[in-house]
Amino acid sequence: MKKNKYLLLCSSLAALLLLVWAAVEENFLKEWRRIQTQGRSEEGRISVQLRQVVNRQLGVADRCVSCHVAMAPGEQGVRGHAVLVPHKPVVHDPAEYGCTVCHGGQGQATEKLDAHGAVHFWPEPMLPARMSEAGCGACHAALHVPGQERLKAAELAFTRLDCYACHRVDGKGGTLRPDQGGMEGPDLSRAGMVPYDPDWHAGHLAKAAQAAGGAWRVFAPVSDEDRALLEVFLRTRVAAPRLVAAKSVFHSSGCLGCHKVSGVGGDDGPDLTQ
């Protein structure tokens, strides 16, 4: 009888210790808590709490920002740890759209391996950094991209016609030379997603005729052939240049001869839709 009492006492103490350890680990030792403890904003220490980005329209509730706090809404200035850096400028603000809709992973998890989706039975692990723009295809699969020769000609036309002098595209260009007046044109990095003026050429000619000097005076008429190339270039600007380049290589290499994508292509190779 006494032996059973000692056994019960020991098992009870062991259970109590396990509960205490679980409480300590949950409330003090979680990785996201340690990261936030080191976080600092201009006002000082940041509050240690679960953070998440919710987008009901997309059906996501991503807690990635519990570790990557500097990507959370209004907290881009938080520093103090290697992961506390803001997201690079992209078309879709992660503070609004969340993370998993583009990058994959398990948005509601708060442990690194679970959140990155590197676990059994999770169908959408996070994309490797070198393949990050592949996530754009989840929504923009219908983007029409010509073959490499046509796309290259379009890119060269945009450069040859000096459009970069006024317009920024994918982080390049957009500032006129010092002796040209310093005016900037609109950023065209998203021209393939956001409607732009189809009569831009006539508008440019009208402004050039009215200008007394500066950049508009040097604008010259663009041939029909070059305007067609510029249209190709603008239609493929979705702020994901590597995605566009990859689709162009895919089309130019004849991959659809063997592989099917979204119901189009051959049957000899595996279906690459997913």
- Quote the CA–CA distance of 217 and 223 in Å, as a whole number: 18
- Quote the CA–CA distance of 99 and 106 in Å, as a whole number: 10
- The average confidence (pLDDT) of the chain is 87
pLDDT, one tens digit per residue, over 208-218 is 898 877 778 88
H/E segment holding residue 54: strand 53-55
- pLDDT attached to residue 47: 94
Confidence of residue 80 (pLDDT cuts 50, 70, 90): very high
pLDDT above 70 for 1:
no
CB of 180 closer than 8 Å to CB of 165: yes
Confidence of residue 77 (pLDDT cuts 50, 70, 90): very high
Kindly state the tokens that stand for 70: 């500097």
**pLDDT mean over 224-233:** 96
pLDDT above 70 for 183:
no
pLDDT, one tens digit per residue, over 94-124 is 888 999 999 999 999 999 999 999 888 898 8
Of 120, 134, 126, 85, nearest to 103 by C-alpha is 126
Whole-prediction pTM value?
Answer: 0.66
Q: Please name the residues in contact with 116: beta carbons below 8 A apart, sequence gap of 6 or more.
A: 105, 106, 125, 126
CB of 157 closer than 8 Å to CB of 136: no
Q: Please name the residues in contact with 219: beta carbons below 8 A apart, sequence gap of 6 or more.
A: 204, 205, 207, 208
- pLDDT attached to residue 176: 62
- pLDDT attached to residue 107: 94
- pLDDT attached to residue 113: 92
pLDDT above 60 for 182:
no
How many residues make up the chain in this entry?
274
pLDDT above 70 for 32:
yes
**pLDDT mean over 219-231:** 94
- pLDDT attached to residue 179: 55
**pLDDT mean over 77-82:** 93
- pLDDT attached to residue 185: 82
CA 9 and chain centroid, separation: 56
CB of 237 closer than 8 Å to CB of 192: yes
